[in-house]
Amino acid sequence: MVLPMAEQVDAIVIGGGIVGLFTSLQLARAGKTVRLIDKTHVGTARHNTGAMILQGRRPEWHQLMQFTHERWQKTAEELGSSLGFEQCGSAILNFTEDAAAQLAQVSAPNGDYERHVVTDIAEIGKVFGDGVKVPEKLSGISHAPIDASLETSQTLDHLRRAAVQAGVRIWGSDTVTELMVDNGHVKGVKTDSGDVSEAPYVILVAGVWSNKIPLPETAKLPLRPARCHLIEMIPHGNMPTPVLILPTPFGEVIIHRQRSGRAMVAYTGVMDKHQATWSTIPRPQTVEWLKNLAGVLLPALGNARIAGDPRCISLAVTPDNMPYIGPFEGLSGLLVASGLSGQSYAMAAGVADIMTAYVTGQDIPLDLGAFAPARFSAKPAADNAA
């Protein structure tokens, strides 16, 4: 039996979505040889809201999201309009009598981040844009003009081409079957096709599938899926410029104007028991509810028809709804970025820079203590002794 020869690279990236592509590209730009591995064709996770919203997030996320937003802006300046980045702003909607007080409590980053509470209907109309009909019962919005969005298919296509041109080596339709470890240090991976790749760093960015990678028992990543519903609708009126967000107790409803003229309507369902499933088959009741709600939130979508088939994507959710970002303590060479709770597009640019900093030995630009991947890992027996 002839054993496969192992290739030698500087870093292996597991996961070919937006975070994996961006990380691979940044590493290659830094002069590193990179092997990118995905269980499907790299760059197929094309459907997402692409919303990059800083307001309304947990305070622990603010510094990280500001950093990654700045990295997206810089990347857009470097790559131009073909990246699909648009600084369109965001508007959190409120339909209650106490809108002004409630919207004033919306969390937002400190510093130069600009946010305004708007309760005058005429002023809201100016924020939404010319010819956009404002919902009759809307009481107010929290408007953040700096927030942005991505045309996700365009972004993925651009980054994939850039990664290939930068020399990233890609294995598509490959499943990692073994994480090779020697004396507490990651040495490389083996795949189901028999390929072997060795590197001093393995970067795990496979979303909710990250906990399906065969890791040592002490390096497990507690993750669960949340089924995010996506529908494209054909509006019969002008769409607002900013991304619209309606917070609910179980997740966010997001409406995003696309360059095609259609509206992307999403329900994240992060805390919805009906969406806590590995299934990516749309739930008919959820699709109907989302379609009807979109018509209430935006008159241009009232009685609008759905274009194509509804879709679902799996979001990765951690027990404390905080992502895993950084090195895995006790397993040298393993870097993790997962559990982003639907924020993978928003986070990709910043995460890519952070992973690249670890591999190249640069200073890490942020305090990542709250996102430590090992915070739920099993402790050695001696540590658990009374």
Q: Position of tokens 């509804």?
A: 310
**Contact assessment for residue 372 and residue 338, using Cβ atoms and an 8 Å cutoff:** no
Q: What is the mean pLDDT of the chain?
A: 90
Give yes or no for residue 45 having a pLDDT over 60: no
What pLDDT sits at residue 380?
45
Q: How far apart are CA 52 and CA 149, in angstroms?
A: 5
Reported as a pLDDT band with limits 50, 70 and 90, residue 46 is: low
**What's the CA gap between 344 and 347, in Å, rounded?**
5
Dihedral (Cα; 73, 141, 51, 127), 10-degree rounding:
-60
In percent, how much of the chain has pLDDT > 90? 72
SS3 211: helix
Domains in the chain, please, with CATH? Answer: 7-46+154-221+320-379 (3.50.50.60), 90-145+224-317 (3.30.9.10)
- Residue 31, token pair as written in the block: 């002069």
Closest to 320 measured CA to CA, from 198, 236, 203, 223:
223
**pLDDT tens per residue across span 92-138:** 999 999 999 999 999 998 888 999 999 999 999 999 999 999 998 99
pLDDT band of 351, cuts 50, 70, 90? very high
Lowest mean pLDDT among 158-162, 231-235, 287-291: 158-162
Q: Is 49 helix (H, G, I), strand (E, B) or coil?
A: coil
Burial environment of residue 119 by CB neighbours within 10 A (0 to 12, 13 to 18, 19 or more): middle
Please tell me the predicted confidence (pLDDT) of residue 213: 86
Three-state secondary structure call for residue 210: helix
Query: Which of 21-35, 105-119, 283-297 comes out lowest in average pLDDT?
Result: 105-119
- Please give the share of the chain, as a percent, with pLDDT higher than 70: 94
Q: What is the tens place of the pLDDT at every residue in 195-240?
A: 999 999 999 999 888 888 888 877 788 999 999 999 999 999 999 9
pLDDT at 44: 45
**CA dihedral sign of residues 51, 52, 57, 61:** positive
Contact 220/293 with Cβ under 8 angstroms?
A: no
Among 117, 126, 71, 68, residue whose Cα is nearest residue 94? 117
d(CA 355, CA 358): 5
Is the pLDDT assigned to residue 384 strictly greater than 80?
no
What's the confidence (pLDDT) of residue 65? 92
State both tokens at 222: 């507690």
Q: What is the DSSP letter of 363?
A: P
Eight-class DSSP state of 334: E
Note the pLDDT of residue 379.
52
Q: State mean pLDDT over 336-344.
A: 91
Distance CA 335, CA 10 (A): 13
User: Is the pTM above the cut of 0.85?
Assistant: yes
